[in-house]
Chain A
Amino acid sequence: MSAPVITAGFADPVIAAQAHFHALMDALARPGSIHDFPAALDAPAPLTPELAATALTLVDHEVTLWLDAPLAASKAVVDYLRFHTGARIVADPAEAAFALVSDVAAMPALAEFGQGSDEYPDRSTTIVVAVEALAADGSLQLAGPGIRDRARIGIASWPAGLTAEIAANGAQFPRGVDLVFTASGQVAALPRTTRVSEV
């Protein structure tokens, strides 16, 4: 009988968690800006190293975690996240503090995730999405807190209808979800305050 092999977490958990957190903090504070996200992790596919690094940086036994279908279907991914974070993995996205999305095309509607309440808008889901590529100066125009006038970002691939969903998400401020996008070695974010238009 062979024990399942779980690959290692960060080589230096303290310093790596700080570095990745700092990138996430900058990304959320300055929506649309793209930050280095080294994510030197050997995570089991389809969990990307960047999704794994975000989970290892922010998720622990105090929070709930939702996984999209491809991630939830992989025992290796579930074992890896259970072992490294201790988080309770939930089936209902509305209950999740964090959601990991490996397949952005099949992501549930933003409204299906936890929206927080008017009294506690912080109790909403932070959705972490793996995408193919992030590019400065892309086709999305951004405005809102954290942005001087206007900012641009390109996110590939951008699902049809997500722009409208983000507008609906922002309209219920202060309730709403926050979106973190990761690509190979990079991270960017669109918090609920950011207004997005396609140009």
Chain B
Amino acid sequence: MSAVAAPQASGYNFAYLDEQTKRMIRRAILKGIAIPGYQVPFASREMPMPYGWGTGGVQVTAAIIGPDDVLKVIDQGSDDTTNAVSIRKFFAKTAGVATTTETKAATIIQTRHRIPERTLTEKQTIVYQVPIPEPLRFLEPRETETRKLHALADYGLMHVKLYEDIARHGHIATTYDYPVEVADRYVMNPSPTPKFDNPKMHMSEALQLFGAGREKRIYAVPPFTKVRSLDFEDHPFEVQKFDKPCALCAATNVYLDEVVLDDRGGRMFVCSDSDHCEERRAEGHRGELSGEAA
């Protein structure tokens, strides 16, 4: 075979997967895009990492990535955690692609459980790693039955679940993996992103792809597609609010992580999106714990 963009690791096909596997995944992606929110079964392969580490997302990324792409990988918003670093290195090694931590420089963003704070553009594709793709799974364990419920668009169970939240807690207590209705039809799990990120999915300019390796499902939300978080008229959907701005960059209206500082109850709240926080600090924004400008 001719030269393949000189992958850095020899002995592997470009982006690790063989071509027949990529075709199978590509077919599933195209059907997923044509049926927004519907979970397309696919023949998930064993990957050189355990289930639960993003094998679904990695397979989707491997099927779509080309030599000119620039890849960013985040884990809970951070570019610097083990999972993100490993997957970024995996593609740098097997596909020889450029990688980045900058949201604005990336063409493909693979994510575990966050959507970047910066608004994504038409030039970008976001790939979600999904542990449990079936929103009804914990309400109805049988695949045959959940499939029927999706076929009939019978999502009463999910509304009962949200109602029970209200009955017990006085409000909808689901805070992550908050179910959404896509293009007025399928109810879908957005993967365990905080519900704070749900509004970013609605009419997003970027194509959104979801891969669940262990559960062997791929689904998609095309750009400019309605994504509505389920709610009730008297209990409308709300995102988390934070009392304080980010302790490092003073950002408000972003999702914050709580970091315990000592054993006497000291704690700080910082941006979960590490790139967004670094970019703001580089612009000169200072939070209460960031000290003086370096």
Binding site for B on A (CB under 8 A): 11-15, 17-19, 21-22, 24-26, 28-30, 57-60, 62-63, 97, 117-122, 124, 126, 145-148, 173-174, 178, 191-193
Q: Is the CB of A146 within 8 A of B225?
A: yes
Q: Contacting chain A: which of B20-28, B44-52, B163-171, B265-273?
A: B20-28
Which of B29, B66, B152, B223 makes the CB contact (< 8 A) with A30? B223
Report which residue of B20, B32, B122, B224 has the largest number of chain A beta carbons within 10 angstroms of its beta carbon.
B224
Q: Which residues of A contact B222 (CB under 8 A)?
A: 28-30, 145-146, 193
Q: Is B151 an interface residue (CB 8 A)?
A: yes
By beta carbon, the residue of chain A nearest B28 is A122
Report which residue of A17, A18, A24, A30 has the largest number of chain B beta carbons within 10 angstroms of its beta carbon.
A18
Q: Is B288 an interface residue (CB 8 A)?
A: no
Q: Which residues of B contact A193 (CB under 8 A)?
A: 34-36, 183, 222
B154 to chain A, nearest CB (A): 11
Q: Is the CB of A192 within 8 A of B34?
A: yes
Which of A15, A28, A57 makes the CB contact (< 8 A) with B23? A57
Q: Which residues of B contact A173 (CB under 8 A)?
A: 35, 185
By beta carbon, the residue of chain B nearest A177 is B34
Given A29-B223, A174-B38; A24-B23 close (CB under 8 Å): no
Q: Is the CB of A122 within 8 A of B38?
A: yes
By beta carbon, the residue of chain A nearest B31 is A122
Given A25-B30, A119-B148; A15-B4 close (CB under 8 Å): yes
14 contacts between A and B (CB under 8 A): A15-B66, A18-B65, A21-B26, A58-B26, A59-B23, A60-B20, A62-B20, A63-B27, A97-B27, A117-B151, A119-B148, A122-B31, A146-B223, A178-B30
Interface residues in B1-34 (C-beta closer than 8 Å to A): 1-5, 13-14, 19-20, 22-24, 26-34
| Cα A12 to Cα B32 with chains together (Å) | 27
Q: Is the CB of A14 within 8 A of B223?
A: no
B interface, over-half SS: mixed
Q: Which residues of A contact B63 (CB under 8 A)?
A: 21
Q: Which residues of A contact B22 (CB under 8 A)?
A: 17-18, 21
Q: Is B67 an interface residue (CB 8 A)?
A: yes
Contact flags B213-237 to A (C-beta < 8 A → 1, else 0):
0000000101111100000000000
By beta carbon, the residue of chain B nearest A86 is B20
Given A22-B66, A58-B27, A145-B183; A17-B34 close (CB under 8 Å): no
Which of B19, B41, B203 makes the CB contact (< 8 A) with A13? B19
Interface residues in B134-180 (C-beta closer than 8 Å to A): 147-148, 150-152
Q: Which residues of A contact B67 (CB under 8 A)?
A: 15
A interface, over-half SS: loop
By beta carbon, the residue of chain B nearest A173 is B185
Q: Is the CB of A146 within 8 A of B38?
A: no
Seed contacts A11-B2, A121-B38, A124-B31; 14 additional CB < 8 Å A-B pairs: A14-B1, A17-B19, A25-B26, A25-B33, A26-B207, A29-B33, A60-B23, A62-B24, A97-B27, A118-B152, A122-B40, A145-B36, A145-B224, A193-B36
Q: Is the CB of B147 within 8 A of A119?
A: yes
Question: 10 smallest A-B Cβ distances: which pairs?
Answer: A118-B151, A191-B34, A146-B222, A122-B31, A145-B225, A178-B34, A18-B66, A29-B222, A122-B40, A145-B222
Report which residue of A28, A59, A63, A119 has the largest number of chain B beta carbons within 10 angstroms of its beta carbon.
A28
Report which residue of B13, B19, B26, B186 has the largest number of chain A beta carbons within 10 angstroms of its beta carbon.
B26
Which of B20, B26, B122 makes the CB contact (< 8 A) with A57? B26
Q: Is the CB of B152 within 8 A of A15?
A: no
B204 to chain A, nearest CB (A): 11
B116 to chain A, nearest CB (A): 19
A27 to chain B, nearest CB (A): 9
| Cα A97 to Cα B23 with chains together (Å) | 13
| Cα A47 to Cα B30 with chains together (Å) | 23
Given A12-B4, A173-B185, A193-B36; A58-B23 close (CB under 8 Å): yes
